[in-house]
Amino acid sequence: MSDTLLKVRDLKIGATIYPPGERPRDIEIVHGVSFDLAPGKVLGLIGESGAGKSTIGLASMAYGRGGVKITGGAVWVNGRDILKGSHKDIRKLRGAEVTYVSQSAAASFNPAKKIMDQVVEAAVEQKKFSRKEAEARARVLFAKLGLPDPDNIGERYPHQVSGGQLQRCMTALALCPEPDLVVFDEPTTALDVTTQIDVLMAIKEAIRDTGVAALYITHDLAVVAQVSDDIMVLRMGNTVEYGNVDQIINDPQEEYTKALVSVRSIEHEEKAPTEEPVLSVRNITARYKGTQFDVLHNVNVDLYPGQTLAVVGESGSGKSTLARVITGLLPPREGEIEFAGRKLSPDLKGRSREDLRELQMIYQMADVAMNPRQTVGTIIGRPLEFYFGMRGAEKKKRIIELLDEIELGEKFMDRYPAELSGGQKQRVCIARSLAAKPKMIICDEVTSALDPLVADGILKLLLDLQKIEDVAYLFITHDLATVRAISDNIAVMYQGKVQRYGGKSKVLSPPFDDYTDLLLSSVPEMKLGWLEEVIAHRKMESAGN
């Protein structure tokens, strides 16, 4: 066996794209990338969406997703150029020598089959182990990965375990055939921060104990710094910087890497509450129709004019339900909402056009929040017509003003959503909500689907617009860095209750309640050894109690 497990040289990857109204054409998405990986080592591939990191990861299994094709270069695994192998050679490699852990275990497990059947399938099919041996090995891995009831969890179906548990099962699936290399493709991105830290630790220990090598793909530099030996920074299919983890984090050479390391440059001074809140949520208790339990329990929060209230919490904490109650989509069981000095009807049907105009909303998925067959001008112009009856030149003038405010400009007026990038789409959604001249905008995870640098730009824009338009934001997010950047007041939600509420500086300074402490300490920090520190700290604390 050679001392390099995976050797990639001048890898070029192409894809066929189908632009609307044009002929399909071939483009190159990875332009000659080279790296080496020794047995038992971990290489982090980091970059924004479109950097080609997943594509490179899958290329190490000779796989191209959709119409993606490897067009040049060489990939050696254990001394064999796998790109020159036959279909049969490639099938022997996959699931035996190289395995894969995807971002969404929930989607990557077959819903119709038991977890155990799927975990051992590759090992048995590739004749690495007998069915019995593989099952025994899977149970050992389940235990090692910290899954509850490791002896029986394999008998369950994927929908019967939680998202974090399923992600660990996927790691067990990848490790079961005793591969030489595992490709981890954003394995913790879809998880809550408090879950992410446990899965991250489980993965790190599993890598260490089994001596397997790994390609760790993520957009989160703080995460990759915890598990990698080397890091390669990628941008638009090119290598930006390649070095060991210490050098990349502590001494980045390239401008782009520096920007990634120091992302979240926003400084926002907390504003003091003014006398009258624009929105008062009073004693709201709510449940969904046909269910037996409340998802919100006695929630009380205030939002002041021209300020930002961040509602932070993990999935299932009730933060999006709160938005549904405020917008009238889910009438509460108890409590009431006061908005701009008047009581709001609990049901959407009872609200006036003025109520609707003054309370706007921006969503996480900008793509699906816009009609793909309307131009940007039509999309932004619609609220101008609907609320203010604007027509012709007057409307056009206002659309251009709004496009200037979101830093896109007049030339975007005739474009369709499909021609915009993710950040540009979100900007159009912001302009659409501002067109109504609202007093308040509910922002529901508006930066969660965006790359860090793009998200940063959106947050800056929102803060600038707040100053110009004097609009209040109810900012729903699971990301604490975003909360720090943008909020004046913070409400931490947990299991449908407001766990902690007040000004930013007060909420984010000790002493903390247990949940807020757990939440804050789980956010990955951009420094080496952070993961071990936190885990050691938690173990000490639980031993002390």
The residues binding other proteins (CB under 8 A) are: 61, 63, 65, 90-96, 99-100, 102, 104, 107-113, 118, 121-122, 125-126, 156-157, 159-160, 173
Q: Which of 470, 449, 47 is nearest to 248 (CA)?
A: 47
Judged by beta carbon, residue 81 or residue 405, the one nearer other proteins is: 81
- Smallest gap from Cβ 348 to other proteins, in A, equals 31
Supply the minimum distance, in Å, between the C-beta of residue 174 and other proteins: 9
Return d(Cα 518, Cα 497) in angstroms, integer: 16
Secondary structure (DSSP) of 113-132 = S-HHHHHHHHHHHTTSS-HH
Return the SS3 of 260. helix
CB of 104 to other proteins, least distance (A): 6
Least Cβ distance, residue 75 to other proteins (angstroms):
15
CB nearer to other proteins: pick between 154 and 306: 154
* Least Å from the CB of residue 160 to other proteins: 6
For 443, other C-beta atoms within 10 Å of its C-beta total 29
Give min distance, CB of 218 to other proteins, in A.
18
Closer to other proteins by Cβ: residue 5 or 408: 5
Closest separation between CB of residue 159 and other proteins, Å? Answer: 5
Class of residue 509 by CB neighbours under 10 A (exposed 0-12, middle 13-18, buried 19+):
exposed
> Which of 137, 131, 115 minimizes the C-alpha distance to 209?
137
The answer to whether residues 378 and 370 touch, using CB atoms and an 8 Å cutoff, is no
Question: Residue 542 has which token pair?
Answer: 């639980």
C-beta closer to other proteins: residue 108 or 426: 108
First to last CA, the chain: 49
Within 13 Å, how many C-alpha atoms sit on residue 509's CB side? 5
Phi, psi of 448 (to 5 degrees): -65, -30
Residue (of 478, 452, 474) closest to 462 by Cα position:
474
Query: For the residues of 50-114, what is the DSSP string, one character each?
Result: TSSHHHHHHHTTT---TT-EEEEEEEEETTEEGGGS-HHHHHHHBTTTEEEE-S-HHHHS-TTS-
Closest approach of Cβ 105 to other proteins, in Å? Answer: 9
Task: Name the residue nearer to other proteins (CB basis): 329 or 368.
Answer: 368
Helix residue ranges, H only, 361-513: 376-388, 392-405, 422-435, 452-469, 480-486, 504-507
Q: How far is the CB of 102 from other proteins (least distance, A)?
A: 6
Is residue 211 within 8 Å of 88, Cβ to Cβ? no
Query: In sequence order, what are the residues at sequence separation of 6 or more whose Cβ sits closer than 8 angstroms to the Cβ of residue 107?
Result: none
Cβ of residue 185: shortest distance to other proteins, in angstroms?
A: 10
Question: Angle 163-175/131-144 helices, nearest 10 degrees?
Answer: 130
Nearer to other proteins among residue 160 and residue 274 (C-beta): 160
Nearer to other proteins among residue 58 and residue 295 (C-beta): 58
The nearest distance, CB 196 to other proteins, in angstroms, is 20
Whichever of 37 and 93 has its CB closer to other proteins, that residue is 93
Nearer to other proteins by C-beta: 54 or 426? 54
Residues 6+ apart with CB under 8 A from 20: 416, 418
β-strand partners of 9: 74
Q: Residue type for 211, please?
A: G
Q: How far is the CB of 92 from other proteins (least distance, A)?
A: 6
Reduced to 3 states (helix: H, G, I; strand: E, B; else coil), residue 1 is: coil
CA distance 381 to 384: 5
In terms of CB distance, is 77 or 436 closer to other proteins? 77
At 8, which amino acid appears?
V
Q: Which is nearer to other proteins, 137 or 504 (CB)?
A: 137
With beta carbons less than 8 A apart as the criterion, state whether 237 and 30 touch: yes
Task: Give the nearer residue to other proteins in terms of CB position, either 162 or 274.
Answer: 162
Helix 193-210 with 163-175: angle, nearest 10 deg: 10
